[in-house]
């Protein structure tokens, strides 16, 4: 792999794996990433992916991609394809090990029969409600189902008929016979199979009984020779059951290790909630750049490597965590700073007329493409009498420490000239500044003050006649509070969706070198931020996404 490793630092999982190898519990390392194809991957999955593939890679092992597709009513091929694309984009490769739990349905069925024969599983005719009732509570033991002691023959017969479709959904389930008084509720005769007369995205109508997660996951791991099954802390309570099935079946013993899932400030990483944002049109889709999904981050211009670096820095532990989104943004900036070409783009234009500049004259000026990377070369900028600058870069009454343009003051136009504001036109009704009149100093071509005079401010600009129009989509955090997962009792995370998360700017003016860019291309709009060309861009209709803004020291000063 050519990418830098994610999860490079030592952590408790690496230590555990090292120990397993040292004591010869295993002589190699095999992991797996097991998504359920019922939604799109998000930044939380990225952590799991980096850990699963990263651990394998670190120990010279392999990582399988296995779709955990045991619930046909929720799963779709569309998601399978999207998930594969996202993992590949992150930079990981599962070789030919693209596997599906549904490929194991026949084997799993055989395992179930085996357990029935051992007297370790039975068909229960209790209704879902009754099973729930019989399960007991967190503090009281459950009680045994009246069907718990059916004969092996009867169980075998009914289970076979379940498979053949003789019963409607909910009529019965196959349960493991463990211990209804177990302190761990997962051990109170968990359901192994349920009846679902649903078409499966891969097996079609071949099956009408489907294994539950607990009866599918561990055995799938085992069949694949997975040595280390790394998963969410949520499955800690399931480990005894995971081990129980493997033990009773006498199959290859894998080791499950759990780690804390990722949480990020100002965002939500629950599939259910993300689905809701999409279905209620609070965002424009799964790949809306405000979403924490990988496809959204890709569309927004977050480099995959930046995400991997972020995951690496987040670390791996068992503590519940809430990572500051600024760490992700730092990584995005850090990477883009080295790679993105600089361009001049005016997001909120106001016209500047250089009154002493000859009408009709056009000069060509040289601009550096990337000060961080001399090999990126230079390009040419057109300068003329009428320009656009950023509305923010002019103040009729400049506040203290404001270095930009204001009446009587000088400012440098990047790569251009030093200009002085002589006058401005104000709409008397609205109070809006409509035009600024300046003079330029012809001795300062390129922006150099040969007389040594100090000009504090440098602003960006475009030539009015040469500039190209564009739409720019400015994104901000989707939620107004740090942790939308924890809200006041009578509130929902939906109450905290930010009304300002998307601002569409039209009539922006960008330098002409951007006229023919392609979706996905990334740039730094100087002094503004990193932007990328959106998928919606068509010939003659430029659309940019704000990837991440530049740090804005002035905004900080001004807000004080």
Which positions from 150 through 179 interact with RNA, judged by CB under 7 A?
169-170, 172-173
The catalytic residue among 194, 239, 271, 528 is: 271
Q: Which of residues 266-295 bind RNA (CB under 7 A)?
A: none
Among residues 290, 333, 385, 409, the one that binds RNA under rule CB under 7 A:
333
Of the candidates 335, 344, 338, the one whose C-alpha atom is nearest the C-alpha of residue 308 is 335
Provide the 10 A C-beta neighbour count for residue 358.
10
Place of tokens 């564009």: 470
Q: Which of residues 106-135 bind RNA (CB under 7 A)?
A: 126-128, 131-132, 135
The catalytic residue among 36, 144, 248, 386 is: 36
Backbone angles phi, psi at 107, to 5 degrees: -65, -45
Q: Which of residues 60-99 bind RNA (CB under 7 A)?
A: 68, 70-71, 74
Rg (C-alpha) for the chain, rounded Å, is: 31
Nearer to RNA, 126 or 487 (CB): 126
The answer to whether 271 is a known catalytic residue is yes
Q: What's the min distance (Å) between Cβ of 535 and RNA?
A: 25
Q: Which of residues 413-472 bind RNA (CB under 7 A)?
A: 414-415, 444, 446-448, 457-459
* CB distance 292 to 264 below 8 Å: yes
Q: What's the min distance (Å) between Cβ of 428 and RNA?
A: 27
Q: Which stretch binds RNA (CB under 7 A): 113-121, 433-441, 493-501, 519-527?
A: 519-527
Cα 538–543–544 angle (5° rounding)?
140
The answer to whether 36 is a known catalytic residue is yes
Using CA atoms, how far apart are residues 283 and 482, in angstroms rounded to an integer? 19
Among residues 89, 147, 273, 403, the one that binds RNA under rule CB under 7 A:
403
Q: What's the min distance (Å) between Cβ of 387 and RNA?
A: 15
Nearer to RNA, 5 or 447 (CB): 447
Provide the 10 A C-beta neighbour count for residue 371.
10
Task: Spell out the residues 6+ positions from residue 38 whose beta carbon is closer than 8 angstroms to its own.
Answer: 71, 74, 75, 76, 79, 271
Using CA atoms, how far apart are residues 410 and 422, in angstroms rounded to an integer? 10
* CB distance 455 to 417 below 8 Å: no
The catalytic residue among 261, 275, 284, 391 is: 261
Q: Which stretch binds RNA (CB under 7 A): 22-30, 115-123, 468-476, 544-552?
A: 544-552
**What character string, x for contact with RNA (CB under 7 A) and - otherwise, covers 363-382?**
-------xxx----------
Residue 548 DSSP class: E
* CB distance 266 to 478 below 8 Å: yes
Q: Which stretch binds RNA (CB under 7 A): 80-88, 187-195, 290-298, 425-433?
A: 187-195
Among residues 33, 53, 104, 213, the one that binds RNA under rule CB under 7 A:
213
554 binds RNA per the rule CB under 7 A: yes
CB-side neighbour CA atoms (13 Å) of 426 = 11
- Which residues are known catalytic residues? 36, 261, 271
């Amino acid at each position: 792999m050519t990418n830098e490793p994610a999860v490079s630092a030592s952590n408790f999982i690496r230590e555990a794996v090292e120990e397993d190898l040292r004591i010869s519990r295993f002589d190699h390392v095999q992991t797996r990433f097991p998504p359920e194809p019922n939604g799109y991957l998000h930044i939380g999955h990225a952590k799991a992916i980096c850990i699963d593939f990263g651990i394998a890679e670190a120990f010279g092992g392999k990582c399988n991609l296995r779709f955990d597709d045991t619930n046909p009513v929720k799963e779709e091929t569309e998601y399978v394809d999207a998930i594969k694309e996202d993992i590949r984009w992150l930079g990981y490769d599962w070789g030919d090990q693209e596997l599906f739990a549904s490929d194991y349905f026949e084997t799993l069925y055989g395992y179930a029969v085996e357990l029935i024969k051992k007297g370790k599983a039975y068909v229960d005719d209790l209704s879902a409600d009754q099973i729930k009732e019989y399960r007991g509570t967190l503090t009281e033991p459950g009680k045994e189902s009246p069907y718990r002691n059916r004969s092996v023959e009867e169980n075998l017969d009914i289970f076979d008929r379940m498979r053949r479709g003789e019963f409607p959904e909910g009529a019965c389930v196959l349960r493991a016979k463990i211990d209804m008084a177990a302190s761990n509720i997962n051990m109170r005769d968990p359901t192994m199979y349920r009846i679902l007369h649903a078409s499966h995205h891969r097996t079609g109508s071949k099956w009408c009984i489907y294994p539950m997660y607990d009866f599918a996951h561990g055995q799938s791991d085992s069949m694949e020779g997975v040595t280390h099954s790394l998963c969410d802390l949520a499955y800690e309570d399931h480990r005894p059951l995971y081990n129980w099935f493997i033990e009773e079946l006498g199959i290859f013993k894998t080791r499950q290790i759990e780690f804390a899932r990722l949480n990020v400030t100002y965002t939500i990483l629950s599939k259910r909630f993300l689905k809701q944002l999409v279905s209620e049109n609070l965002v424009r889709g799964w790949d809306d750049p405000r979403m924490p999904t990988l496809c959204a981050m890709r569309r927004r211009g977050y480099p995959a490597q930046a995400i991997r670096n972020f995951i690496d820095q987040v670390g791996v532990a068992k503590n519940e965590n809430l990572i500051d989104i600024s760490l992700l943004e730092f990584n995005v900036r850090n990477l883009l700073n080295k790679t993105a070409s600089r361009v001049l783009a005016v997001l909120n234009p106001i016209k500047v007329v250089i009154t002493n500049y000859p009408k009709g004259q056009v000069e060509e000026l040289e601009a550096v493409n990337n000060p961080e990377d001399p090999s990126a070369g230079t390009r040419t900028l057109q300068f003329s009498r009428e320009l656009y600058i950023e509305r923010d870069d002019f103040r009729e009454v400049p506040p203290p420490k404001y270095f930009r343009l204001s009446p009587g003051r000088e400012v440098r136009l990047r790569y251009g000239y030093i200009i002085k504001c002589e006058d401005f036109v104000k709409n008397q009704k609205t109070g809006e500044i409509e035009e600024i009149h300046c003079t330029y100093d012809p001795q300062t071509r390129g922006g150099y003050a040969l007389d040594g005079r100090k000009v504090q401010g440098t602003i960006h600009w475009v030539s009015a006649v040469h500039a190209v129009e564009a739409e720019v989509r400015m994104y901000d955090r989707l939620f107004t509070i740090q942790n939308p997962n924890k809200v006041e009792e009578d509130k929902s995370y939906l109450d905290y969706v930010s009304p300002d998360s998307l601002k569409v700017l039209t009539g922006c003016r960008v330098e002409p070198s951007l006229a023919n860019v392609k979706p996905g291309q990334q740039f730094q709009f100087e002094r503004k931020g990193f932007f990328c060309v959106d998928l919606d861009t068509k010939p003659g209709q430029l659309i940019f996404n704000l990837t991440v803004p530049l740090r804005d020291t002035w905004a900080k000063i001004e807000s004080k």
